[in-house]
Amino acid sequence: MTLPPETSGPPLSAAQAILTIDLGALAQNWRKLRHYSTPAECGAVVKADAYGIGIEQAVRTLAAAGCRTFFVAQASEGARVRAALNKQDGYRIYCLNGLLPGPQVFDAFIEHDLRPVIGSRAELDAWIKQGALHLQQMPVALQFNTGMNRLGIDAHDAAEVLAVLRAAGVESKIDYVMSHFVSSEAERDPLNGAQIKAFDLVRNVFAGFRFSLANSSGIMLPQKPHYDLVRPGYALYGGNPSPGVPNSMQPVVKLQAPIIQLRSIEAGESTGYNAQWTAKRRSRLATIGIGYADGLPRSAMSTPEKPGAQAEIAGRLCPLVGRVSMDLIVLDVTDVPESELAPGAMAELLGERISIDDLGERAGTIGYEILTSLGRRYHRVYLNP
């Protein structure tokens, strides 16, 4: 018996767009990344609602594929991961943003069995003190700063930190010593090598510990800085971890919306707010019920400097014309055969032909932001759970 696909958001009959999330592709991307990273363990970063696709569905799929280690940003997200795993044993959930200041901060970590990624000396001290008050010290990962200058203990303090851990008798509670790349998607950026070198210094001090450095693009670097655990996020969801090289990941999201109405305008007439696009010829326009309130950035409009977003209708790529409205966009469908055009005909804004990387670039941003902005008004269909 095949179950109907899981859905969320407004029902199909009431929604103006359909977001299809292929959980089978997510699982396959994870397996592929694991294969690239073997013998390192392959974790999964599921922060920000699993990059917008739905944290519960993503976590269940990845756990079924064999993933045992999850990363979120915040403890509230960690609680959702723990609940999605039905309190089964054997899964480790790390909170990348670490510990907030204040005494109650440990409550959520204890309640949901989460592990902070300690990112400063103050957090380290708070954690050691907490362990002295309670009998059991929660395991943690230690993050060192090798160049991001965002979170992390200074790499030069590694020896001093190890001494502090030894004095408190808590070295065995450090699961991983980690750091994070600044520009791993730019393979030739010398920062990659510099960070690997800085991390080598930390690894020498922490000999015998386990290490983690690579995000999606870090996995693909020629130096293979995989160590004991890799932490892919973006590539799991279909993003290209190696820009400039054909994407080896499968698309996970597909965004489709029906044409609401069609019209023809004469050369010299414009469409949308502030008349930002003027027809050079008699043009056929299709209006679609997706706008910036659904996560299609206003910056996806074409300008003289860059092409704007596109949608595929009946196999043809149609440019978005004029401004992105809150709830609507207009496509130039002049080159689509009239027989293919009717209210209800489907336009595809993301899928096999149009990638999240492509839309990100056309909107002057990155695919990460496209994913994490995916709207709440879409009818969501989860395939191949």
Ligand X SMILES: *Cc1c(COP(=O)(O)O)cnc(C)c1O
| Whether residue 47 lies in the annotated active site | yes
Of 145, 216, 271, 302, the one binding ligand X (CB under 6 A) is 216
The torsion angles phi and psi of 161, rounded to 5 degrees, stand at: -65, -40
Of 199, 234, 378, 382, the one binding ligand X (CB under 6 A) is 234
Marked catalytic residue, from 32, 36, 47, 173: 47
Using the contact rule CB under 6 A, the part of the chain among 24-32, 33-41, 212-220, 330-338 near ligand X is: 212-220
Give the residue with the Cβ less far from ligand X, 52 or 272.
Answer: 52
CA distances from 250 to 23, 27, 61, 236 (A): 11, 10, 15, 9
Tokens 């450090």 locate to: 174
Using the contact rule CB under 6 A, the part of the chain among 13-21, 62-70, 158-166, 230-238 near ligand X is: 230-238
Of 215, 240, 271, 355, the one binding ligand X (CB under 6 A) is 215
Of 23, 26, 27, 45, the one binding ligand X (CB under 6 A) is 45
Using the contact rule CB under 6 A, the part of the chain among 16-24, 187-195, 197-205, 215-223 near ligand X is: 215-223
Min dist CB 152 to ligand X, Å, is 9
Q: What is the DSSP annotation of 344-369?
A: T-EEEEESSSS-HHHHHHHTTS-HHH
Min dist CB 215 to ligand X, Å, is 3
Of 18, 40, 95, 96, the one binding ligand X (CB under 6 A) is 96
Min dist CB 46 to ligand X, Å, is 10
Q: Does 180 bind ligand X (CB under 6 A)?
A: yes
Residue sitting closest to ligand X (CB): 233
- Looking at residue 235, what DSSP letter applies? G
Helix (H) or strand (E) holding 145: strand 140-145
Q: Does 34 bind ligand X (CB under 6 A)?
A: no
Min dist CB 238 to ligand X, Å, is 11
Min dist CB 294 to ligand X, Å, is 22
- Which long-range CB contacts under 8 A does 271-276 form with residues at least 24 apart? 271/321, 271/322, 271/330, 272/321, 272/322, 272/323, 272/325, 272/330, 273/322, 273/323, 273/325, 274/323, 275/322, 276/301, 276/322, 276/323
- Residues 31 and 51: their CA atoms lie apart, in Å, by 18
Using the contact rule CB under 6 A, the part of the chain among 32-40, 87-95, 228-236, 243-251 near ligand X is: 228-236
Sign, CA torsion 177/47/245/305? negative
Q: What is the DSSP annotation of 321-340?
A: ES---SS-EEEE-TTS-GGG
Min dist CB 150 to ligand X, Å, is 9
Marked catalytic residue, from 87, 197, 273, 306: 273
Give the residue with the Cβ less far from ligand X, 182 or 201.
Answer: 182
Q: Does 44 bind ligand X (CB under 6 A)?
A: no
Q: Does 231 bind ligand X (CB under 6 A)?
A: yes
Q: Which residues of 260-296 are buried (b: 16+ CB within 10 A; e: fewer)?
A: eebeebeeeeebbeeeebebeeebbbbbbbbbbebbb
- Do residues 54 and 253 make contact, with C-beta atoms less than 8 angstroms apart? no
By the criterion CB under 6 A, which residues form the site for ligand X? 45, 96, 180, 215-217, 231-234
Report, as residue numbers or ranges, the catalytic residues. 47, 273
